Amino acid sequence: MEEGVLRVMEKPNEKQILLFYCMESEDLARKVAEQSPLIQLQSINWRSFDDGFPNLFINNAQYIRGQHVAFLASFSSPAVIFEQLSVIFALPRLFVASFTLVLPFFPTGSFERMEEEGDVATAFTMARILSNIPISRGGPTSLVIYDIHALQERFYFSDHVLPLFETGIPLLKQRLHQLPDTDNVVVAFPDDGAWKRFHKLLDHFPMVVCAKVREGNKRIVRLKEGNPAGCHVVIVDDLVQSGGTLIECQKVLAAHGASKVSAYVTHSVFPKRSWERFIHKNDGSEKAFTYFWTTDSCPLTVKAIGNRAPFEILSLAGSIAEALQI
């Protein structure tokens, strides 16, 4: 079909990017490279010494001189941080033209404040470590992060890095427009935090806002504003851990008459395989979530979930490929 195809005018100075990646992120790296002939995958030897410390080698290190270089990282657990950090600290000093760190999911993001003296805000530790990336000939490192948990965290970084805060919401919007019942979609936020983060990006949809309310010793989810009756409600949040909050929201929305409930989170953390409680069972039992959309920012989870309903993976590859051109 020829009509409707847009021709993108190629900018004369579009950058060639050499993309390194950690082992966990190989699938996403390949998808990013497929988006554009300008993005070329490079490799690192990831080995360990007997004492557990990393034994790393950047292949073809001299070739990257004068090139724009990027590293696709994934800090899925504290244990993998040091090896990736060693590469991240080394690459900018190999006479590259510029360095970009793509860290789709910034972990520790929900531990970013001190409510009492003695609290240790590990998001600050993480931001500090990343702020210490050496500058390269291209100046400060660009740091690409999707849907960071707290909006204030942009100020945790020093001037030696340039954080670029992206979002997965456009992927959701595109997907929602493809649904047959797209006119009946209502967006729900599980709490005010999620509303603050996302309502501006989704303001053309009717909205519902939930809230956690204290009743005695318990905290229960209530509907604060909006009306889900008869609609396909899509709960939107930045991340999911065990999924408890989402499940409670779904119950309240269903009780208020939502005809279908789906969910979108950018980051599926799902520790200890907690995604299993969402899987559709083939025993005819009622399906709580019609769709559960998430991105491939957390590669280990995405690998474990595979293609199982209701999960659908919306890939960040296209968005990352574009961000690398900035």
Q: What type of residue is 287?
A: K
Name the residue nearer to another protein (CB basis): 81 or 97.
Answer: 81
Residue 309 Cβ vs another protein, minimum distance, rounded to whole Å: 24
Q: How far is CA 295 from CA 23, 127, 176, 259, in A?
A: 18, 23, 14, 25
221 within 8 A of 190, measured Cβ to Cβ:
yes
Q: Nearer to another protein by C-beta: 268 or 290?
A: 268
CA-wise closest residue to 208 among 275, 254, 266:
254
Closest approach, Cβ 124 to another protein, in A, equals 7
* Shortest distance in whole angstroms from residue 238 CB to another protein: 14
| 72 vs 91, beta carbon nearer another protein | 91
Choice between 41 and 254, CB closer to another protein? 41
Which is closer to another protein, CB of 245 or CB of 262?
Answer: 245
CA distance 229 to 254: 8
Maximum C-alpha span of the chain: 65
Q: What is the DSSP letter of 251?
A: H
Rounded distance between C-alpha atoms, residue 253 and residue 21, angstroms: 41
In terms of CB distance, is 44 or 234 closer to another protein?
Answer: 44
Question: In angstroms, what is the minimal distance from the CB of 138 to another protein?
Answer: 19
The answer to whether 115 touches 143, Cβ cutoff 8 Å, is: no
Q: How far is the CB of 230 from another protein (least distance, A)?
A: 36
- E strand or H helix that includes residue 249: helix 244-255
| Smallest distance from another protein to CB 69, Å | 13
- Interface ranges with another protein (CB under 8 A): 49-62, 76-83, 85-87, 89-90, 94, 107-108, 111, 117-122, 124-125, 128-129, 132, 241-242, 269, 271-272, 274
